[in-house]
Amino acid sequence: MVLLGFLLSFIIQQKRDVYSQALSLAAIGKYIDARALVRDKLEEDYSEPYGHFVMAKIYSMEGDPMNEAKHLETIKKNNRYTKEIDPVTVCNRVADIYYSRDYFEESFFHYLDTLSHDPSNVVACFRLGFMALGQKELKIADQFLSRLPADKISNPSFLIARGVISGVLGQGKERECFETAFKQEKSSVSGFLYALALSRENKHKEAIATANALVEEIEDEYIRFTIFQFLMCENILMQSFTDALKFSRLCMEIAIMNGWQMETLESETHFSMISIFMGKYDEASEPLIHVESEKTDNYETILLANLKYKLERNLGSLDSLSGEFDLPRELNLLSATLFPNTRYFELSGLKSSKPLNVRGLVDETGKKIGNRLESLALDKFEKFYQLTGTQFKNQATRIALALGFRVTREIQSNESDGVNFLCSLKSDVDKRAILKIRKWKDARVSDVFLRDLLQQKIDFGCSIAMIVGDFILTEAGRKLLEHNDSDVELINGEKFAEILEKTM
């Protein structure tokens, strides 16, 4: 037995000497000779982990990370580790390589494997949390980032991420996160998010002071425009209408100067609202006329113009005419309309430009649902966008059925990116519905589209109208639905994702 132990020790030492020799050769740039030595040893036992580990080191020294990852993945596949070559180190290194090359799905998968060995691994939790957050999967991101000791991590990006998650999900801790991040780095992003969080706590003086301090440091015109919008809203809430008018004018000037059509009309509307509230009817006239000429069917604009007409001619007061258009209420709602909690995410800059099918890898609790990289599913949204012709109409029919309808006929559509169906309820054939199913991607649905749908609903005698797709409403669209909230049902966001999951 002693002799056997000596022989095993001698063989292992010989192997290690060969591997040390290979690494020495790699250190002086003789990578081919180094790999040849290691390959000879791997031919004796290809699943031996140290050989692949040394081969990975050689490729790393040569600056070939993809071949480095290949050998580390072989160690993972064989599931043979040593004290020196542990699964956490291997999984994290492979994940790091893929992450640096923007192969995010593969990277995500390997970081998940790290957590199967070390559930609170800092690197894996940090990366997984940010990758999920980049796709606006806030609940999943929270599952990973909440495992990290917040009191021991002084990274401003981490604090902003935690604040965004808290703000959007309504956890109530965003202000302290943004405040700490702002104290650490004094950036315009953390400062603006901090100001927004202060406003949510009704600390409007502090919010205005914080936002005002940022303005001179901002060079990006759109960010300046957004901060001026915020200051306009804050001064309205503080009843400082002179300052509110000043900031609304600045918004209008920036939008016009940069040729931003939508922002120009929006700013002119806000400027007109504040001017009319202050009794400055002449100042409101020109921008309001321009908005009317561009948005001829806009319900809110028509009501605002009618209010101005009656106030100018002493045909009523703001109070007596509030049943037609409650201007003080509309002004107070501007803050919530322009800066809902979802703006925390939009303003943070955390959205990733690279698509990643997070839900193809984990469920909402962060638990892995795929066992192999080969099983990674194509994003359901992307599959849907790529459907054409009969394939798309068949999928649209499956969506209608999943929503509880039977398709009776197709209505001609002027748009090439969708289909219109007349349907009847499965449970009540006398109830008719019109469904507009669209292949939109991050679209904005305006009041014009909604008015067309409402008119078609009347024309075809339907009791239900529905829009299905990946979209959000414009401000005018939201306003219109406030007056017709029971007339149109929206299947977007998570509802749309659930329907695609059921039907594709």
Alpha helices in 313-373 (DSSP H): 327-338, 343-348
**pTM greater than 0.95:** no
Q: What is the pLDDT of residue 369?
A: 66
Backbone angles phi, psi at 463, to 5 degrees: -100, -10
Tell me which of 469 and 497 has the higher pLDDT: 469
Q: What is the pLDDT of residue 377?
A: 36
Place of tokens 């063989």: 11
Q: Is 421 helix (H, G, I), strand (E, B) or coil?
A: strand
Residue 417 pLDDT: 78
How confident is the model at residue 474, as a pLDDT? 81
Count CB-CB contacts under 10 A for residue 483.
10
Considering the chain, what percentage of its residues have pLDDT values greater than 90? 52
User: Quick one: average pLDDT of 335-360?
Assistant: 87
Alpha carbons 273 and 429: distance in angstroms, whole number? 46
What type of residue sits at position 454? L
Provide the CB-side half-sphere exposure for 75 (13 A, CA). Answer: 27
On the question of pLDDT at 373 being above 60, the answer is no
Residues in the chain: 504
| DSSP secondary structure code for residue 297 in this structure | T
Q: Per-residue confidence at 7, pLDDT binned at 50, 70, 90?
A: very low
β-pairing verdict for 464-468 and 489-491: parallel
Cα-only R_g, the chain: 30
Q: Which of 76-85, 133-142, 350-359 bottoms out in mean pLDDT, i.e. has the lowest?
A: 350-359
Residue 300: name the closest of 269, 343, 336, 323 by CA. Answer: 269
Residue 352's pLDDT is what? 86
Q: For the ranges 18-32, 107-121, 481-495, which has the lowest average pLDDT?
A: 481-495
Is pLDDT of 296 > 70?
yes
Is the separation of the CB atoms in 124 and 94 below 8 Å?
A: no
- In this structure, the dihedral spanned by the alpha carbons of residues 111, 112, 116 and 120, taken in order and rounded to 10 degrees, is 70
Q: Which residues contact 258 (CB under 8 A, 6 or more apart)?
A: 221, 222
What mean pLDDT value characterizes the chain?
A: 87
Q: Which residue has the higher pLDDT, 484 or 196?
A: 196
Q: 359: pLDDT confidence band, cut at 50, 70 and 90?
A: confident
Residue showing tokens 């999920």: 132
Assess whether pLDDT exceeds 50 at residue 2. Answer: no
Give the tens place of pLDDT for each residue, 184-221.
988 999 999 999 999 999 999 999 999 999 988 888 89
> Do residues 276 and 307 touch, judged by C-beta distance below 8 A?
yes
Mean pLDDT value across residues 57-85: 90
Between 297 and 210, where is the model more confident? 210
For the cut 90, the answer to whether the pLDDT of residue 334 exceeds it is: yes
SS3 240: coil
pLDDT band (50, 70, 90) for residue 375? very low
d(CA 86, CA 499): 42
Residue 374 has pLDDT above 70, yes or no: no
| Digit-coded pLDDT (tens) for 213-252 | 998 888 889 999 999 999 999 999 999 999 999 999 999 9
CB 156 within 8 A of CB 191: no
> Which sign does the torsion angle of CA 428, 434, 440, 442 carry?
negative
pLDDT band at 4, cuts 50/70/90?
very low
Tokens standing for 382? 């992307």
| pLDDT of 452 | 87
The yes-or-no verdict on residue 11 having pLDDT over 60 is no
Q: Is the model more confident about 297 or about 402?
A: 402
| CATH, domain 380-503, list 3.40.1340.10, 3.30.365.10, 3.20.20.20, 3.30.70.600 | 3.40.1340.10
How confident is the model at residue 126, as a pLDDT? 94
pLDDT at 3 exceeding the cut of 60: no
Q: Kindly indicate the confidence band of residue 379, based on its pLDDT and cuts at 50, 70 and 90.
A: low
Banded model confidence at residue 16, pLDDT cuts 50, 70, 90? low
Tokens of 244: 């509110």
How many C-beta atoms surround the C-beta of residue 314 within 10 A? 7
Measured CA to CA, the distance from residue 502 to residue 504 in angstroms comes to: 6
CA distance 455 to 436: 13
Domain residue ranges in the chain: 218-340, 380-503
Angle between helix 87-100 and helix 104-117 axes, rounded to 10 deg: 160
- Over range 338-352, report the average pLDDT: 91
Pairing of strands 418-425, 432-438: antiparallel
